[in-house]
Structure 1
Amino acid sequence: MARYTGPRTKIARKFGEPIFGPDKALERKNYPPGQHGADARRKKVSEYGLQLKEKQKAKYTYGVLEKQFAITFKKAERSKGITGEVLLQLLESRLDNVVYRLGIAPTRAAARQFVNHRHIVVDGQICNIPSRIITPGQIVGVREKSKSLEAITNSLETGRHSLYNWFEWDKESLSGKMLNVPEREDIPENIKEQLIVELYSK
């Protein structure tokens, strides 16, 4: 299964944001990595550089590699609506991201692992495809045998599922129903999707 396995703090410092979650190293070194990192701010970044940076940020944030991201963009382009917004909605609707948003996993990487290891069910059926798109009305939950896993119970204690109004959480069954596709203003990620659209439009 293709996924990014490189240094996370280095990437987070590159963008100046904790895109992989809280990071103490990023808090200490809030400037780009590398020998000249502290002086990098004085460089003027080109329009293309800004667009590329935004695409890379989105890719790393949602844990999607280049080819899969391009496929998702093409799908967004063919869909009705504003391409940039539809792109983020598709990324938000991925099963691994939904598992993360519901608080079942502490990070998107952990969510992807839970899905791969068959701990997650969609409408009662085990699903081990992290990129599966969840649609309104579908229910994502924890497999019966996995409900006592310490990693899952610890993550659920954070109560993250209550932060997002496009889910309805059932505490008894440890499952969440997707009520609707989130609107752009509801998606908390700091991504300028229009720059990504401009990049792919060249």
Structure 2
Amino acid sequence: MSKRISAKHKIDRRLGVNLWGRPKSPFNKREYGPGQHGQGRRRKPSDFGIQLMAKQRLKGYYGNIGEKQFRKYYDEAVRRRGDTGENLIGLLEHRLDAMIYRAKFVPTVFAARQFVNHGHVLVNGKRVTVPSYVVKIGDVVEVRQKSKELPLVLEAIASSEREIPDYLEVDHKKLAASITRTPKLEDVPYPAQMEPNLVIEFYSR
């Protein structure tokens, strides 16, 4: 399990944003970095530093994506036709754990990864335990019958903290969802500004 899970609130402060828009984020009260020197004077970041921060924000938002896997998403985004930054966002939003989170079946992106890992999710009727599984347009993703009464799921459904984006079709009675189209950056409800163009610049140096 990634160490990032146990320190997820530090990510907000280190990156200087409330990354997931959660009211409990310590960044809401302490808008400076974690640790002894968090309030020290910060130098103006270089172009490299700005690009790196953009990459860390986007990578961090999706919970547990390692550098090697994230680089693969970049390579695939470059290979595809069209705007590379938009392609990157589309690839990330087609991840199974991202879709579970977007559909509000779980309260956090970290919970989404664990939820999939533990076998609570079906794709077209078959159990899938790989968070990075690519959900295709029209695939039916649903919570297993035995998992529908889990407190985690009931809490997420009842929460008014997030809105469901319009590129998803979600039925909370059946706990089923599907992607109707690949979203563009402007369609994705990021609480913090994401700049995939800077991520592309970082990798293409």
What TM-score do you get using the length of structure 1 for normalisation?
0.92
Question: What is residue 154 of structure 1 aligned with on the other side?
Answer: 155
Question: What is residue 90 of structure 1 aligned with on the other side?
Answer: 91
Q: CA deviation at 1:188?
A: 2.3
Q: 1:172 to 1:10 in 2, by over 3 A?
A: closer
1:89-118 superposed Cα distances (whole Å, 9 cap, x missing partner): 111110000000000010011011110010
Q: What is the Cα-based RMSD across aligned positions, in Å?
A: 1.8
Of the candidates 188, 193, 203, which is equivalent to residue 200 of structure 1? Answer: 203
Question: What is residue 79 of structure 2 aligned with on the other side?
Answer: 78
Q: State the identity as a percent.
A: 38
Q: Verify the 8 A CA contact 1:135 1:181 in the aligned structure 2.
A: no
* 3-state SS in 1 of match to 2:141: strand
Q: Verify the 8 A CA contact 1:102 1:161 in the aligned structure 2.
A: no
List runs of 5+ in structure 1 lacking aligned partners.
Answer: none
1:131-164 superposed Cα distances (whole Å, 9 cap, x missing partner): 0111111111101111111111111112678531
1:37-72 superposed Cα distances (whole Å, 9 cap, x missing partner): 22334x111000111111111111112111110011
Matched residues in 1 for 2:185 and 2:39: separation?
33
Letter in 2 for 1:86: N
Matched residues in 2 for 1:28 and 1:154: separation?
25
Matched, 1:184 2:178: no
Task: Name the structure with the higher helix share.
Answer: 1
Q: Verify the 8 A CA contact 1:2 1:65 in the aligned structure 2.
A: no
Question: What is residue 123 of structure 2 aligned with on the other side?
Answer: 122
Q: CA deviation at 1:24?
A: 4.2
Question: What is residue 28 of structure 1 aligned with on the other side?
Answer: 29
Q: CA deviation at 1:166?
A: 0.7
Letter in 1 for 2:67: E
Instruction: State the number of aligned residues.
Output: 201
Question: What is residue 8 of structure 2 aligned with on the other side?
Answer: 8
Give the structure, 1 or 2, with the largest relative contact order (CA under 8 Å, sep 6 or more).
2
Question: What is residue 38 of structure 2 aligned with on the other side?
Answer: 37
Matched residues in 1 for 2:4 and 2:39: separation?
26
Question: What is residue 54 of structure 2 aligned with on the other side?
Answer: 54
* 3-state SS in 2 of match to 1:168: strand
Question: What is residue 18 of structure 1 aligned with on the other side?
Answer: 18
What TM-score do you get using the length of structure 2 for normalisation?
0.91
